[in-house]
Amino acid sequence: MEYIYASLLLHHAGKPISEENVKKILESAGIEVDEVRVKALVAALKEVDIEEAIKSATLPVAAAPAAPAAAAPVEEKKEEKKEEEEKKEEEVEETISEGLAALFG
């Protein structure tokens, strides 16, 4: 991902996305540069309109409410776990009560 980020940073700055520029950014961030990956990235991006790719990659606002609905099963699992724990606690309390009743009964 850091290679893509470097190319986006260059694009945003209005600089050409070249092997040399991508290497400079990665090295300045302390990332060990893989020459093959840099060459492949630069070659792949030569035919890409980055502005158009960014516009088409943005998610519509209507998709945002879908995330909380996906969390519902997690909440159900949490509730199930709580119920199971409560049942176990009740069973333990009953066992303790029965044991005490037998001792002092």
Q: Assess contact for 11 and 35: CB atoms under 8 A.
A: no
Mean pLDDT of the chain: 80
pLDDT band at 54 (very low <50, low <70, confident <90, very high): confident
On the question of pLDDT at 105 being above 50, the answer is: no
- Report which of residues 54 and 36 the model is more confident about: 36
Dihedrals phi, psi of 64, to nearest 5 degrees: -60, -45
| pLDDT single digits (tens) 11-31 | 999 999 999 999 999 999 999
